[in-house]
Structure 1
Amino acid sequence: MQNQESEQVVRHPFGKFTYLLCSILTLLVGTAFMGSSRVSVMLFCLLFSTVLLTAVVSVCHRHKTLGIGLTLVVLMLILNVSSFLTRSYSLTVLHNSLVIIFLAFVFYHILSAVFHDDRVTLDTIIGTVSLYLLAGLLWSYLYSTILLVDPAAFRYDLVNAASEAVTLRNSDLQPLIYLSFVTMATLGYGDIVPVSGPAQTACYLQAVFGQFYFAILVSRLVAMYISAATHKNQQHAQGS
């Protein structure tokens, strides 16, 4: 019996959210070194597709949800390639909207899995971190969509090496990802400033979300860990 349990541990050394977290971190780190060339865009699409596929595998355990997840991924990939080749405004808006819906779909399923855990495990912690990073990506695409509708929605106070002002575009996902996580962490550096009403609303909603995320979810994990540790100590005391 012990040999079977040890074999099972070896076969499943990682939790169900580990590969998702690794793919998200690879995307975020890789984006920092990408430019605006076609090769960089293709590399970003490849890394983001990896995130989408690992997200489907991580959260979709039933046949129905797996089919929905895979359908959304295929549609997003088709729209991404089509909008990249045709430079179509409507296809880009549709692609971004579908990405936001998909990330919300994945977020809901991971959140349900985390809340249904009756004890804190490494997989629970990894799922909680993945949730936070997915929320940052979700708002990045929301900001990109806002820029598509209103190119002057954000003011980008940045000057390049040639002393020229840099304009923030919806295709510049690296600054938008940066804006997303800076806003969610309520750092407020002020180099990218929301100007329009929708942009300001999206920013303060993300800031509120970031505060409530740590106040509710992380505090719940701490309470679960303390409760489990207390219960274990009580059992140990009764046994001795």
Structure 2
Amino acid sequence: MNFQHWHDKFSPYWKRFVLSPYEHLFWSLIILFFSFAFVNENNIFGRISLTFLFLMTVLCVIETFKLRQKFLNVFRAIAVLSFIFSVFAIIFDSQDNKILYLLGQVIDLIFIAIAVLVIIKKIFSDTKVTGDTLRGGISVYLMLGIVWFQIYQIILTIVPQAFEGELSGYQVFYFSFVTLTTVGYGDILPVHRATMIMANLEAIAGQLYPAVIIARLVSLYTVESSNKN
């Protein structure tokens, strides 16, 4: 068991991690997903930590755009600026600084929504099922939950009474994924018309997306199998 043995054993996995378009995005989404459950939002450090993890996710999202380097650098700079806005709003929490926080949320939402469209386009342009196709499909599903989480956060920033009772960021995150999966426990209720409509749209997306993507993957697999035969 020498270094060369371990290098040969793990080299394919490392190359896949480095070269795969959606490997970084997939794992950053998983880390972000579980971080919401364990990071304390009641202190500034916890909120900034979550904001930083969100920045890392957005930077991974930007990498999926497949643009020229100069455009990627511009988008990265915008993402970092969004992070700075959010941190400033967290540290100096006041009504005036909510505009900065809102601006950061809108920028993040735009980036993630674009990534969803880009990856879906790639899935439907693929001619065979690969590990990257599957990771991209799962990443889109997770990002749909985050897209609606951002939408709910934006609505709450503008209309604090959009839900029944006061909610933490994690509770909004939880509500988004419960709605996406159409579990709907009913422990968190949208009471504003905007949040009601968004919840309905998210539930529809949560039903349609898996059905459409599974149908696409099955058709790709069927074509690939018939070509082999």
Say whether the fold is shared (TM-score over 0.5): yes
Aligned-partner Cα distance in 2 for 1:114–1:69: 23
Cα 1:109–1:71 change in 2 (3 A) is farther
Q: Which has the larger radius of gyration?
A: 1
Shift of residue 183 of structure 1? 0.4
Aligned-partner Cα distance in 2 for 1:63–1:112: 21
**TM-score, structure 1 normalization:** 0.82
List alignment gaps of at least 5 residues for structure 1. Answer: 1-7, 157-166, 234-240
Partners of 1:184 and 1:207 within 8 A in 2: yes
Instruction: Name the count of aligned residue pairs.
Output: 215
* Residue of structure 1 aligned with 2:104, choices 95, 101, 107: 95
User: Are 1:150 and 2:153 counterparts?
Assistant: no
Counterpart position of 1:60? 66
Aligned-partner Cα distance in 2 for 1:177–1:11: 32
Aligned-partner Cα distance in 2 for 1:46–1:64: 23
User: Are 1:32 and 2:22 counterparts?
Assistant: no
Counterpart position of 1:180? 176
One-letter identity of the residue aligned with 2:102: V
State the identity %.
31
Aligned-partner Cα distance in 2 for 1:197–1:10: 48
**What is the CA deviation profile of residues 77-123 of structure 1, one whole-angstrom value per residue up to 9, with x for unaligned ones?**
12112222332121122111111111112212222222221111000
Aligned-partner Cα distance in 1 for 2:185–2:222: 36
Cα 1:22–1:221 change in 2 (3 A) is same
Aligned-partner Cα distance in 2 for 1:60–1:142: 25
Cα 1:132–1:68 change in 2 (3 A) is farther
**TM-score, structure 2 normalization:** 0.86
Counterpart position of 2:217? 221
Counterpart position of 2:3? none
Shift of residue 46 of structure 1? 2.2
User: Are 1:122 and 2:131 counterparts?
Assistant: yes
Counterpart position of 1:204? 200
SS at match of 1:134: helix
Q: Bigger CA drift: 176-185 or 208-217?
A: 208-217
Counterpart position of 1:18? 23
Partners of 2:129 and 2:220 within 8 A in 1: yes
Shift of residue 182 of structure 1? 0.5
Give the superposed CA RMSD: 2.1
